[in-house]
Chain A
Amino acid sequence: MAVQAQSKVRGSKSKTKSGSSGLALPKQVLIKIHDLMLKSRVLEERMIKIYKVGEAYFWIGGPGEEAFGVPLGLLANKGKGVQHDWLHLHYRCSSTLVAMGMDFLTPLRLIMNKATDECTGGRNFSNHYSFPEWNVAPVTSPIGVQYSIAIGTARAQQRSKGKGITIVTGGDAGSAEGDFASSLIWASRRGSELPMLITVQNNKWGISTHFDEQHGENHVSDRGQPFNMRTTVINGNDPIESYIRLEEEMAYIRKTGKPVVLESTVSRLFGHSSASGANPIDEIDCLSDFQTLLLKKDILTEKNIKDLQSGYEKEAKAAQDQVRTEMTPQASSIWDNYFVGNETGNWREF
Chain B
Amino acid sequence: MANMAQAIRMALHYGEKHLDVKDVFGQDVGPPMGGVFTATQGLDTAWNTPLDERGIVGAAMGIAMTGDICVAEIQFCDYIFNTIDLLKIAGNTNWVTNGNATLPMVLMTPVGAGIRGSVYHSHSFDAWASRLPGWKVVMPSNPLDAYGLLIAAIKDPNPVMFLKPKALLRVRGQELLPGEPENEKELKAMIDAPVGDRSQWKAKWPELKDHNVPIGKAKITRSGSAATIVTYGRHVLMCNDVADDLKKNQGIDLEVIDLRSIYPYDWSCIKQSVSKTGRVLFVNEDTEVTNFAEHLSYRVTHELFYELMARPRVLAGKNLPGIGLHANLEEASVPQVSDIKSEVLNLLKEVP
Contacts and interface: CB of A to CB of B under 8 A. Distances in A.
A57 B51 contact: no
Contacts of B36: 207, 275
Contacts of B120: 125, 140-142
- The majority secondary structure among interface residues of chain A is loop
Nearest to A173: B51
A310 B328 CA distance: 35
Given A123-B118, A124-B118, A345 B319 contact: yes
A174 B51 contact: yes
A142 B119 CA distance: 10
B82 interface: yes
Contacts of B318: 334, 346
Nearest to B321: A338
Most buried by A among B50, B53, B321, B332: B50
Contacts of B320: 334-335, 338, 345
Nearest to B76: A141
Contacts of A174: 51
A338 B328 CA distance: 17
A330 B51 contact: no
B328 A328 contact: yes
A125 B79 contact: no
B329 A333 contact: yes
Given A122-B326, A331-B331, A209 B118 contact: no
Contacts of A215: 50
A113 B326 contact: yes
B48 A214 contact: yes
Given A125-B118, A275-B36, A209 B48 contact: yes
Interface string A113-127: 100000011111100
Interface string A59-76: 000000000000000000
A329 interface: yes
B29 to A, nearest CB: 9
A208 interface: yes
B198 to A, nearest CB: 10
8 contacts: A123-B119, A142-B78, A143-B79, A177-B82, A178-B52, A206-B28, A275-B36, A333-B329
Interface of A: 57-58, 113, 120-125, 140-144, 173-174, 176-178, 206-209, 213-215, 275, 328-335, 338, 345-347
Given A334-B320, A335-B320, 5 more contacts: A124-B119, A173-B50, A177-B52, A330-B328, A347-B319
